[in-house]
């Protein structure tokens, strides 16, 4: 039996109860029950909405090292075939937050039993997948009082083998914005199109035009993506649709490109209103800033990881992935890294099956890193 094998069981139990952002009540209850089973001598536990913050008081603190895990699931119907598959219909831990939580609990357990020199802060953050828990949590009274001097987080990476981690200095993840556009015209009978104003046709033209924005407005040496992932419109095959809605996401590697894309979207939508004599509205939903790894701390972590010899370290390229951990790094120096979990199915896939061996590897490596930081 592995040293941290119990946390594989914890991951499986958490996998069964995924909950959407700010609805993680069962998850919070499970986490609190576990935390309260630990020695409480130098722990302080506080709740914030459906999240939790745990402070481990050190023997001779000179700083407060923060570690963040996300706790919410996704609105996806699971297709893994697991015996411990989600018990919540239409909800799944398809982004690895069950892994993230079990790893955080493993590291917390170690330091609840082995008091560190410096204070440690474990942040169990809700609503990473939306509408965004990091920013309001940072603004909470708890994190104003317990303000970390450094922040660390990880994210599972299905494309990397178990036993590997990957990160880089500087920009790691993109700026992101949700995108929701509604168009409203006039419905009618399919046999009399001249008496109606078809919003399925308007939405189709809009989607086509949106796909030209990056190609013809963003510097080819920069990078940006507009993806439309969902279209809804109409009620029946022989009724002209009065309304249609498109839902998507915007990803950019620079803030100026995000601003430019949004302005172009607004111009294109105004043109659709004029061309199709309809009304349209735009909602950018949740916006996440880039994940930018502080250079010195990231380089220190990379060098430590290489010297530790327990993992293989890759220096990766930036990705178009979105993560609201960027809000922490916008105010507090730190970094995020990828944890290899070797799954043929990727993030947000209903069939994703990360390799659970990665849990023990991550717990062991993070404990070693945090102990190393105590001596700096």
* Residue positions annotated with a catalytic role: 70, 129
Cα(325)–Cα(304) distance, integer angstroms: 22
Q: In whole angstroms, what separates CA 83 from the centre of its chain?
A: 26
Report, in this order, helix, strand and coil percent for the chain, each rounded to 5. 35, 25, 40
Tell me the backbone φ, ψ of residue 151, rounded to 5 degrees.
-125, 145
H or E element that contains 12? helix 6-15
Helix (H, G, I), strand (E, B) or coil at 177: strand
DSSP state of 318: -
| C-beta of residue 198 within 8 angstroms of C-beta of residue 264 | no
Given the structure tokens 């660390």, which residue do they identify? Answer: 152
| Interior/surface letters 90-129, b for 16+ CB within 10 angstroms, e for the rest | ebbbbbbbbbbbbbbbbbbbbbbeeebebbbbbbbbbbbb
Distances in Å between the Cα of 72 and the Cα atoms of 99, 141, 222 are 11, 22, 32
Burial class (CB in 10 A: 0-12, 13-18, 19+), 5: exposed
DSSP string, 38-72: S--TTEEEEEETTEEEEEE--SS-S-EEEEEEE--
Q: Is 123 left (phi over 0), alpha (psi -120 to 50) or beta?
A: beta
DSSP state of 87: S
Cβ partners under 8 Å of residue 9, min gap 6: none
């Amino acid at each position: 039996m592995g040293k941290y094998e119990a946390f594989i069981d914890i991951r499986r139990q958490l996998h069964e109860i995924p909950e959407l952002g700010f609805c993680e009540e069962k998850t919070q209850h499970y986490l609190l029950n576990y935390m309260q089973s630990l020695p409480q001598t130098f722990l302080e536990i506080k709740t914030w909405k459906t999240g939790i913050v745990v402070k481990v008081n050190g023997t001779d603190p000179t700083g407060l090292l923060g570690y963040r895990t996300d706790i919410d699931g996704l609105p996806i119907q699971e297709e893994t075939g697991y015996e411990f598959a989600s018990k919540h219909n239409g909800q799944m831990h398809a982004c690895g937050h069950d892994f993230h939580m079990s790893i955080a609990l493993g590291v917390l357990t170690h330091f609840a039993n082995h008091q560190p020199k410096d204070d440690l802060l474990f942040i169990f953050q809700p609503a990473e997948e939306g509408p965004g828990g990091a920013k309001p949590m940072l603004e909470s009274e708890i994190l104003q009082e317990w303000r970390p001097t450094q922040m660390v987080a990880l994210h599972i990476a299905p494309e990397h083998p178990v036993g590997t981690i990957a990160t880089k200095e500087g920009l790691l993840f993109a700026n992101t914005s949700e995108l929701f556009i509604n168009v409203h015209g006039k419905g009618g009978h399919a046999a009399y199109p001249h008496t109606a104003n078809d919003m399925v046709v308007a939405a189709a033209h809009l989607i086509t035009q949106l796909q030209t924005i990056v190609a013809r407005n963003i510097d080819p040496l920069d990078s940006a993506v507009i993806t439309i992932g969902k279209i809804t419109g109409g009620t029946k095959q022989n009724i002209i649709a009065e309304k249609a809605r498109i839902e998507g996401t915007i990803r950019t590697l620079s803030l100026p490109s995000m601003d430019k894309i949004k302005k172009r979207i607004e111009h294109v939508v105004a043109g659709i209103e004029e061309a199709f004599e309809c009304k349209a509205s735009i909602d950018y939903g949740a916006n996440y800033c880039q994940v930018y790894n502080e250079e010195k701390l990231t380089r220190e972590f990379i060098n430590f990881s290489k010297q530790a010899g327990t993992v293989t370290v890759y220096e990766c390229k930036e990705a178009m992935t979105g993560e609201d951990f960027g809000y922490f790094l916008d105010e507090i120096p730190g970094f995020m890294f990828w944890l290899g979990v070797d799954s043929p199915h990727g993030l947000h896939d209903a069939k994703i099956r990360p390799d659970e061996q990665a849990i023990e590897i991550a717990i062991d490596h993070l404990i070693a890193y945090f102990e190393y930081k105590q001596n700096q």
